[in-house]
Amino acid sequence: MPAAKIAKKNPRAIAEAIVAELQDDPLFAEVSIAGPGFINLKVTSQMLSAHLIELAESENKLVANTGQGQMAIVDYGGPNTAKPMHVGHLRASIIGESIKRTLKLIGYDTKGDIHLGDWGTHMGMVISEFEIRHPEWPYFDKSKKDGFPEEPPITIQDLETLYPQASQASKSDEDRMAISRAATAELQKKQPGYYALWQHCFNVSVAAMKNNFAALDVYFELWLGESNAQDYIPDMVTRLQEKGDAIEDQGAIVIHVQREDDKKEYPPLILYKRDGSVMYGTTDLATIVQRMDDFSPAKIIYVVDQRQHLHFEQVFRAARISGIAPETTELTHAGFGTMNGEDGKPFKTRAGGVMKLEDLIKMGIEKATQRLDEANIGQDYSAEERADIAHKVAIAAIKFADLQNSRTADYVFDLDRLTSFEGKTGPYLLYQTVRIKSLLKKAAAQNVESKKLSALHLAEFETQLGLTLAEFPNVVELAAKNYTPHVLADYTYRVSQAFSSFYGNCHILNEDDEDIKQTRLYLCAMTLDVLERGLDLLGIPTPERM
RNA sequence: GCACCCGUAGCUCAGUGGAUAGAGCACUGGUUUCCGGAGCCAGGUGUCGCAGGUUCGAUUCCUGCCGGGUGCGCCA
């Protein structure tokens, strides 16, 4: 049809010419024209059979190596130290994790960087709050330069209750805010006592985060943050000023990023505020300097809330203008939509607060445990295995419910949906993998191991399943190109459905015809492989049984 | 005011110029002496926000309008 447009010919005529060309191609069992010029191709079962065997035996599942070992940095997660992780961190973590895993499969050397918010005003609020409450602590003795206690004076629970109070106090009282700002400035100068206390807050927060992320099966190669980029700032700004890219404007040092042909207004990126302190744009730009120095990445992907899009455009423009990031390094803000409540506003609990990520996971686990009990499953399993299953089911439910939404759109937080186990859900996908594992174990017990085959016997349901399995590399490439995990989520569901349909209609172990039986076993093993790989790209681990 | 995102079935969402616009939930019926019923099969639902335009063809691209959300120099 598009060819007709280019050639300015009747699409039907072009279709006929193409069909004539393909008619005798041995790949196709049937070539026909439909409607205004659609060409329907039906591959032969020999061709499909050969292709499926190739796919099954391919180590990389026929996914093209587009990355060629180049470095891709995925910046995601981005929690702040001293603040509890809430459900809002869910998307940033799991979308980023999936994008990173997908880029790895297409051949990139990937590094996930958590990019902690550990150097901002919120840390000044917390530290000054401690000083107000515990002025006797050694950290607040301005004459003391070293020898601070090694044991943290605080726990994560202390931080979680203290931060909201410190924040509230600062926001509602100008004088209190001035104290927070002053503490922030002192901290950023690495005043010894403050810095030692900051280090404790950092360590305690990071330990708690690691638990949260491990529960979600999210892992970072780099635990860097704003504080790590600070050392790059002074030289960077000096260089930019010498080059004339950064100039003084209204008392601040800024980079203008507006272009002649822009339709809208782009505010300049502020490097130093009037009072001489830095902003997060400064840190983000310095972080690019650091990343270029350390890794010369081909891509830096930021998985951050869509609302920060303008900010990233400013940073990216500044990075190009200054030459900090060469044109060969792709800078992309893969933004995601906000999690809204039923009222269309950013999600809040009924009490008006935020729901902690831990609590959401706990609810999912409770529901999964209850399900195990009700269905009389796993009475004979060990307590450890039951706990592991409940955890995996809960994580699958939560992550899949989120990841199946397209990245950019806002979506409605629905607790029932996030902890639902039926229909288009994570647990449904796990269930399919578990059924296959169980079946393959039975086959092994009956000494009917599936073998390497040279040809498959493909009837209706086998073909349907096989065609779906064959889509794997295309789906991976699409998800990688657009940074859209939801196409993978949708695909794993379609594979599961195709398998379930096949399974419901075809007997396997008690099939008499040996060729058919072997083909079906082969497809089962292949489905399991494709499903588990797809789920792995989504960051969803599967249990052995459930 | 300007810019960006969104508007698709009762609800939650897919749908990157193609055929009769699809899933899940909810609702109804069927399905288990047989490999795991968290399953399978069947049933029907649409002014694709509205109005124009481009195109052989528009849910998709363009323009305008309506409705919702978000962002817009010294917070992150």
Residue whose token pair is 């015809």? A513
Residue A503: per-residue pLDDT: 95
Taking the C1' atom of every nucleotide in all shown strands and the CA of A371, the nearest one is B38
Chain B bases closer than 7 angstroms to a protein Cβ: 2-7, 12-19, 23-26, 34-41, 55-57, 68-76
CA–CA gap between residue A448 and residue A518 (Å, rounded): 9
Q: Closest nucleotide to residue A345 (Cα to C1')? A: B69
ipTM: 0.95
| Tokens describing residue A405 | 């939404």
- CA A401, A432, A42 angle in degrees (round to 5)? 95
Q: Which residue is nearest to nucleotide B55 (CA to C1')?
A: A5
- How much is the pTM? 0.95
- C-alpha Rg value of chain A to the nearest Å: 28
- CA A424 / C1′ B45 distance in Å: 20
- CB burial string A438-459: b at 16+ within 10 A, e below: ebbeebeeeebebeebeebbbe
CA nearest to nucleotide B76 C1': residue: A280
Residue type present at position A283: T
**CA of A544: nucleotide with nearest C1':** B36
| C1' of B47 to CA of A465 (Å) | 37
**A367 CB inside 7 Å of strand B:** no
CB A237 under 7 Å to nucleic chain B: no
Chain A residues 166-225 within 7 Å (CB) of strand B: none
DSSP string computed for A379-405: TTS-HHHHHHHHHHHHHHHHHHHHHTS
B31 C1': nearest CA residue: A504
Q: Is the CB of A497 under 7 A from strand B?
A: yes
* Residue A80 contacts strand B, CB under 7 A: yes
Closest nucleotide (C1' vs CA) to A474 is B16
Determine if strand B comes within 7 Å of the CB of A295: no
Is the minimum distance from the CB of A275 to strand B below 7 Å? yes
Task: Supply the pLDDT for residue A331.
Answer: 96
- How many Å does it take to go from CA A419 to C1' B27? 22
CB of A452 within 7 Å of some strand B atom? no
Nucleotide nearest to A40 (CA to C1'): B19
Per DSSP, the three-state class of A31 is: strand
Helices (H), A106-232: 121-133, 156-172, 174-188, 192-215, 226-229
What does the pLDDT read at residue A8?
66
Nucleic strand B near CB of residue A480 (< 7 Å): no
Query: Nearest nucleotide to A390 by CA–C1' distance?
Result: B38
Q: Would you say A194 and A138 are in contact if contact means Cβ atoms under 8 Å apart?
A: no
CA of A74 to C1' of B9 (A): 38
Q: What is the bridge-based pairing of β-strands A28-34 and A411-412?
A: unpaired
**Residue ranges of E strands in A231-337:** 246-249, 252-255, 269-272, 299-302, 330-333
Nearby residues of A219 by Cβ (< 8 Å), 6 or more positions away: A97, A112, A213
SS3 A225: strand
Contact assessment for residue A356 and residue A85, using Cβ atoms and an 8 Å cutoff: yes
A44: CB within 7 A of chain B nucleic strand: no
Q: CA of A448 and C1' of B39: distance in angstroms?
A: 25
Strand B contact with A448 (CB < 7 A) = no
pLDDT tens digits, chain A, 546 residues: what are they? Answer: 777 767 667 777 788 888 888 888 888 988 888 877 888 888 999 999 999 999 999 999 999 999 999 999 999 999 999 888 988 899 999 999 999 999 999 999 999 999 999 998 899 999 999 999 999 999 999 999 999 999 999 999 999 899 989 988 888 888 999 999 899 989 988 999 999 999 999 999 999 999 999 999 999 999 999 999 999 999 999 999 999 999 999 999 999 999 888 878 899 999 999 988 889 999 999 999 999 999 999 999 999 999 999 999 999 999 999 999 999 999 999 999 988 887 777 788 877 778 899 999 999 999 999 999 888 787 889 999 999 999 999 999 999 999 999 999 998 899 999 999 999 999 999 999 999 999 999 999 987 777 789 999 999 999 999 999 999 999 999 999 999 999 999 999 999 999 999 999 999 998 999 999 999 999 999 999 999 999 999 999 999 999
